[in-house]
Amino acid sequence: MIGRSPAGSRLAAILDSLNDAVRSADFARLGQISGLLETILDDAIALHPAEAKRIRLQAARNARCLEAAAEGIRAGKRRLREIEAAAEGVTYDRNGRLHRGTGANDGTNAPGLGRRL
């Protein structure tokens, strides 16, 4: 089994730190880690193929984690827009037509929403 080179070990440690920072939403640390990655990548060019494969697997794991974090942020932004729209009194009637009210939505500014069936 091939051991890790100093550059490979350092790169693996940085990728683990990146993963930890993403999972804990430590965005300040993410900025620091990206700088470290840029400095180490030049040294990692001469990795043994087996070591490079391990690093690629770590990088792929991090990419999936970053994609999931980005989707979570997009979902949060969508939810905030929904909350803001509700606070502005934006509603839809049963035909899907948009109605804009003023202030908080109490359900009375869209036709038919207050009626019981």
Q: Model-level pTM?
A: 0.60
pLDDT score of 61 more than 90? yes
Across 9-36, average pLDDT: 88
Please indicate, yes or no, if residue 88 is contained in any of the structural domains. Answer: yes
Range of the domain at 44: 6-100
The token pair that represents 26 in the structure block: 């430590």
The mean pLDDT value for 12-33 works out to 90
* 90-104 per-position pLDDT tens digit: 777 888 887 776 544
Can you give the length of the chain in residues? Answer: 117
Q: Per-residue confidence at 1, pLDDT binned at 50, 70, 90?
A: very low
Confidence band for 114, pLDDT divided at 50, 70 and 90: very low
CA distance 95 to 93: 5
Q: State how many domains the chain has.
A: 1
Structure tokens at 65: 């984690």
* Residue 31 within a domain: yes
Quick one: pLDDT band at residue 77, thresholds 50, 70, 90?
very high
Q: Is residue 47 part of a domain?
A: yes
Average pLDDT, the chain: 80
